[in-house]
């Protein structure tokens, strides 16, 4: 029997898993409480996190030990009702971003087995992407909780430092380590964070943080002024699509200087800061250096060669770079609310990674290494599937304490992609409430013309804090007209007898109640606001046109929507010219 703080977790008979499951050191399932926020969910833990009754190896057999207690994060999850399925494979001592640095074998990409899974939390991402568990725990020092998410079409939540206790976790670099969460949806990841977070007086880096609770309405997001994709044109195109998608959610892109962030990232491995990796396992490493595989051994051993003076020099450099980077958040400079980057700039095969393990691993971390050093929160969400079928993910990065805000926006972004869940092929479920976000009273507004995303009047929505909910279409009870003499060009939607009209494409936007009056005041005759019937039987407030104004106007109902009409018109002009 395994004791937890509030319940007795019963041990069920273990069973062998096929090698491709990538749950290493699998033992009895540890059942959680019968009730709780996470009741009924199964999870796995990266094998550098202690779970009583299961050995902790950090992917190094000579290092293996039997923990005397659950890590606090594991205990909190069991108390919240989740059940532990086992421990997952990782890059040894959490040193790597690719998932091939383990004596237990390389973890393949869940969607393309010839490719790397990303690391170091490789197995944790794989078992979530393939549907073996509902969520998993990873750790993140330089991007290990984000890169595997981006490469496997799942969510990777990297919380603010100290929000989740890291006690009972084999350190990689203790001052910047974070326990991270993998899930197939942001909603589940946020629920897990809510259950896992909490101050731990016995963890020297734990913090009692007050998280921001106001969701983003309109927002500015930073885009680096220098982006490297290492020749991967498909990833580059996918990132441009991501920028457009974030704009459609109410964001305005702002170019930010990338060099301070890139220079900070370099310090993690190319300065005395790497000595913290050696310090984390110094006793074991000095006695058993030959038991550590390459290139992990060389990376950790490099930390021996720095002096205390070298470390203070590196810390001062980091502080200076942090001050430079902080300008992007300042209203006096770029004034961004969050930063957008690719989670990983490209994909590599396992063979490529094993042939050039250091340089290619560094490339995978091009947009991750600086985040914990500069005390930011981050969330990786799936963005698209490339033409070659490989996943592309983006990461939303915010200041410390912005975790709930990133989750709320990230969930809307993810659900707007229409992607399926990980490698399971299952559709996205309904969105879930984000625990720490205060609900805002809104009115759902349907737009069919110049207020659509990217259209001339869309700013009348975004500047009032409206956010895109979803694309939709009307019931087949409407005729659609191109109104002559309108600037900018506008359509008119006319209600007709049920079944005698067409389905017309539209967008649904959620607008704060307090802004609705000023929006309606902008609507010119012959347009007005009425109640529209949608194809799913629901209703929304939307634009309708006076019948008199539609007399003699061009009926464009057959096009199915304003975007289709404009595209057809442009094509016709091109043919004529």
- The residues assigned a catalytic role are 46, 120, 144
CA–CA distance, 90 with 147 (Å, rounded to integer):
13
Please spell the DSSP secondary structure of 218-263, one letter per residue: SEEEEEESS---TT-HHHHHHHHHHHHHHHHTTEEEEEE--HHHHH
- Cα–Cα distance list, 260 to 32, 318, 398, 514, 537 (Å): 45, 9, 16, 40, 52
Helices (H), 1-121: 72-79
CA–CA distance, 277 with 304 (Å, rounded to integer):
10
**Dihedral sign for Cα atoms in the order 512, 517, 521, 526:** positive
Is residue 331 classed exposed, middle or buried when 0-12, 13-18 and 19+ CB atoms within 10 A define those classes? exposed
- Cα–Cα distance list, 136 to 73, 152, 451, 469 (Å): 12, 14, 41, 29
Q: Show Cβ contacts of residue 539 under 8 Å, excluding neighbours closer than 6 positions.
A: 531, 532, 533
- Contact between 145 and 45 (Cβ < 8 Å): no
CA–CA distance, 197 with 552 (Å, rounded to integer):
63
The strand order across the sheet containing 467-473 reads 467-473, 505-512, 442-447, 539-545, 527-533
**Dihedral sign for Cα atoms in the order 439, 445, 448, 452:** negative
CA–CA distance, 261 with 326 (Å, rounded to integer):
10
CA–CA distance, 307 with 527 (Å, rounded to integer):
73
């Amino acid at each position: 029997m395994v004791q937890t703080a509030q319940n007795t977790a019963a041990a069920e008979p273990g069973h062998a898993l096929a090698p491709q499951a990538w749950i290493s050191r699998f033992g009895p399932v540890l059942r959680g409480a019968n009730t709780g926020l996470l009741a009924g969910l199964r999870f796995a833990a990266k094998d550098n996190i202690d779970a009583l009754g299961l050995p902790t190896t950090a992917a190094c057999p000579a290092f293996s030990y039997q923990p005397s207690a659950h890590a606090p994060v594991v205990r909190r999850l069991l108390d919240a009702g989740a059940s532990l399925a086992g421990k997952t494979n990782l890059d040894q001592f959490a040193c790597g971003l690719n998932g091939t640095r383990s004596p237990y074998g390389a973890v393949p990409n869940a969607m393309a087995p010839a490719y790397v899974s990303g690391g170091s939390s490789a197995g944790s991402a794989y078992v979530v992407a393939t549907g073996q568990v509902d969520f998993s725990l990873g750790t993140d020092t330089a991007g290990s909780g984000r890169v595997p998410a981006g490469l496997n079409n799942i969510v990777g939540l990297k919380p603010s430092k100290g929000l989740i206790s890291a006690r009972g976790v084999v350190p990689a670099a203790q001052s910047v380590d974070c326990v991270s969460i993998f899930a197939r949806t942001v909603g589940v990841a946020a629920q897990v964070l809510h259950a896992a977070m909490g101050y731990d007086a016995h963890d020297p880096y734990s913090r009692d943080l007050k998280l921001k609770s106001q969701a983003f309405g309109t927002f500015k997001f930073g885009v680096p002024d220098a982006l490297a994709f290492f020749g991967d044109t498909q990833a580059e195109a996918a990132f441009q699509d991501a920028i457009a998608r974030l704009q459609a959610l109410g964001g305005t892109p702002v170019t930010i200087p990338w060099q301070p962030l890139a220079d900070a990232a370099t310090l993690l491995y190319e300065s005395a800061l790497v000595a913290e990796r050696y310090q984390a396992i110094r006793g074991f490493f000095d006695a058993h250096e030959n038991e550590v595989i390459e290139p992990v051994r060389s990376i950790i051993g490099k930390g021996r060669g720095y002096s205390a003076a070298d470390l203070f020099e590196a810390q001062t450099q980091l502080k200076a770079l942090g001050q430079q980077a902080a300008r992007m958040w300042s209203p006096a400079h770029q004034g961004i609310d969050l930063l957008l980057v690719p989670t990983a700039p490209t994909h590599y095969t396992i063979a490529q990674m094993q042939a050039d393990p250091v340089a290619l691993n560094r490339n995978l971390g091009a947009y991750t290494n600086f985040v914990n050093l500069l005390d930011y929160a981050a969330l990786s969400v799936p963005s698209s599937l490339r033409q070659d079928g490989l996943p592309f993910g983006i990461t939303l990065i915010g200041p410390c304490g912005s975790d709930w805000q990133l989750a709320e926006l990230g969930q809307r972004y993810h659900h707007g992609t229409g992607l399926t869940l990980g490698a399971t092929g299952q559709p996205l479920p309904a969105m879930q409430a984000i625990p720490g976000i205060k609900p805002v009273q809104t009115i759902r507004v349907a737009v069919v013309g110049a207020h659509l995303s990217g259209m001339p009047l869309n700013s009348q929505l975004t500047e009032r804090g409206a956010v895109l909910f979803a694309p939709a279409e009307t019931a087949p009870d409407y005729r659609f007209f191109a109104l002559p003499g309108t600037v900018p060009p506008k359509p008119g939607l006319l209600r007709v007898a049920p079944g005698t009209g067409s389905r017309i494409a539209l967008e649904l936007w959620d607008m704060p109640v307090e802004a609705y009056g000023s929006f309606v005041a902008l609507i010119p005759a012959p347009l007005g606001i009425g109640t529209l019937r949608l194809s799913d039987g629901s209703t929304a407030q939307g634009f309708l046109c006076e019948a008199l104004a539609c007399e003699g106007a061009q009926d464009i109902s057959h096009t199915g929507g304003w975007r289709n009409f404009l595209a057809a018109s442009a094509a016709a002009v091109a043919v004529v010219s």
